Amino acid sequence: MPSETELIQRYFVFEQGRADVIQGIGDDGAVVMPPAGQELVASVDTLVEGVHFLPGIEPGAIGHKALAVNLSDLAAMGAEPAWASLALTLPEVDEVWLRDFSRGLKALAQTYGVALIGGDLTRGPLSMTIQVLGFVPRGAALYRSGAQPGDRIFVTGSVGDAGLGLAVLQGRLELPSDAAAYLSSRLHRPAPRIEAALALRGCASAAIDVSDGLALDLERLLAASRVGATVELTQLPLSPAARAAFTTPIDWSQILTAGDDYELLFTVAPERAGAMEKAFDAIAGGATEIGHIEATPGLRCTLEGHAHARPRRAGYDHFAQP
């Protein structure tokens, strides 16, 4: 049986090529050098088996997603990711599982130039906690609280895919195999919107990532900014696979409350919209305007201009009563 140190060496020490890591894995703490004049942004998230992923999911996807959800939080702050640490709890040492998990994590880390600088390994029910650190130029962080009446509301990529992917996985929805595969990859391998985040610096007035459903996350942004909004449902960006999931009419409540998309939801003052749209020409997945900010608090939805009921269920909340 390999020792804890051997396991860490085997699965979590990899080439990262960052000159700002002075001491990575191997000592009691990591030492890094933040760039002069920048602010550090920190975020942490835990994934628990049975809560955030179903037992039996490919370990590579778990490794990817555990990091992706954290990078998505940094993206929502307009931050460039730099360093991560991983606290991993395993029921037993399964080297095939560890190899695949670490490959998924490493591939995403290397895509965004993120160094894994430390962590912890413990025995217990399967769960993992990743902390990420990134930076933004002084004063450039994006907050939930900056939206103003008159601002335009945008969302990157497409919404509702991950929730539909889960429905396919749980046998609640049947789709052609290519649409099913696309939706399942959106659920299991979300792409953190880092490039979009960097393009939003200096353009967006407020931002949040969509992890618990568009309606709930937009309401969080509205509450933090002390404003309201109207969203036109027919403008919500749906992927071709999501459209294939609905024989008309579209279940807007499902789209508004589905979690796990990890898109960025952001607001832009009208005078900045031109600059933002120009910056987004080069961003894969783009961004779509879905509504606007108003002074009256609360979220209002319209369908082709007519008032539409708010979704029955708000979105995902671990502690809400069913």
Helix 59-76 with 177-188: angle, nearest 10 deg: 60
Task: Tell me which of Mg ion, ligand ADP, none is bound by residue 119, counting a contact when its beta carbon lies within the kind-specific cut-off of 5 to 8 angstroms.
Answer: ligand ADP
Question: How many chain residues interact with ligand ADP (CB under 6 A)?
Answer: 14
* Among ligand ADP, Mg ion, none, partner that 12 touches (CB below 5 to 8 angstroms by kind): ligand ADP
Counting contacts by CB under 5 A, is residue 120 touching Mg ion? yes
Residue 63 CA to residue 8 CA, distance in Å, equals 15
Which lies closer to Mg ion via its Cβ, residue 86 or residue 222? Answer: 86
44 binds ligand ADP (CB under 6 A): no
Report the site for ligand ADP in 117-176 (rule: CB under 6 A): 118-121
Nearer CB in complex with ligand ADP: 15/27: 27
Q: CA torsion 166→168→171→175, rounded to 10°? A: 170
Residue 12 or 182 with smaller CB distance to Mg ion: 12
Q: How far is the CB of 87 from Mg ion (least distance, A)?
A: 9
Which positions from 68 through 97 interact with ligand ADP, judged by CB under 6 A? 86, 88
The residue among 25 and 74 lying less far from ligand ADP, judged by its C-beta, is 25
The three-state DSSP-derived secondary structure of the chain is CCCHHHHHHHHHCCCCCCCCEEECECECCCEECCCCCEEEEEEEEEEEECCCECCCCCHHHHHHHHHHHHHHHHHHCCCEEEEEEEEEEECCCCHHHHHHHHHHHHHHHHHCCCEEEEEEEEECCCEEEEEEEEEEECCCCCCHHHCCCCCEEEEECCCCHHHHHHHHHCCCCCCCHHHHHHHHHHHHCCCCCHHHHHHHCCCEEEEEEECCCHHHHHHHHHHHHCCEEEEEHHHCCCCHHHHHHCCCCCCHHHHHHCCCCCEEEEEECHHHHHHHHHHHHHCCCCEEEEEEEECCCEEEEEECCEEECCCCCCCCCCCCCC
Minimal distance, residue 321 CB to Mg ion, in Å: 37
Q: Which stretch binds Mg ion (CB under 5 A): 3-11, 25-33, 113-121, 297-305?
A: 113-121
Whose Cβ is closer to ligand ADP: residue 18's or residue 313's?
18
Among 1, 3, 17, 27, binds ligand ADP (CB under 6 A): 27
Of the two residues 78 and 118, which places its CB atom closer to ligand ADP in the complex? 118
Q: Which partner in Mg ion, ligand ADP, none is near 118 (CB below 5 to 8 A by kind)? A: ligand ADP
For ligand ADP, give the closer residue by CB, 24 or 78.
24
Query: Pick from 12, 97, 262, 280: which binds ligand ADP (CB under 6 A)?
Result: 12
Q: Binds 134, which of Mg ion, ligand ADP, none (CB < 5 to 8 A, cut-off by type)?
A: none
With CB under 5 to 8 Å by kind, the binding choice for 262 among Mg ion, ligand ADP, none is: none
Residues contributing to the site for ligand ADP (CB under 6 A): 4, 8, 12, 25-28, 86, 88, 116, 118-121
